[in-house]
Amino acid sequence: MSQKTIFEKILQGEIPCKPIYEDEYTLAFNDISPQAPVHVLVIPKTKIVNVAQANENDIDQMGRVLFAAKKVAELTGISQSGYRLVFNNGEHGGQTVYYMHCHVLGGRSLSWPPG
């Protein structure tokens, strides 16, 4: 059996977290190493390793993650000023936790290109 990711431990209540947003399908909480004044992670409650490994059965769940990210932007007050959504995918994409998650970043002007 593979080792649980930190997100699986959070979902199973092994690691406490204070939700910013939660529904039947997703959970959103502050990143422990914020890169912007608002830096929230949105995870699906059903594991998808990353975008590259998603399949047609994951379409609904992926859409729910994007909708939850929109809700997070509204709840954190960055919806009107603008924000960035980031999915890191694979080693060169900067993915360190192999459980798909969306970074919602905002609260300041974000430069381009990133990284």
CA distance 84 to 94: 16
The catalytic residue among 39, 92, 101, 103 is 101
Identify whether 103 is a catalytic site residue: no
Q: Cβ neighbours of residue 38 under 8 Å, at least 6 residues apart?
A: 76, 77, 78, 83, 104, 105, 106, 107
Which residues are the active-site residues?
A: 101
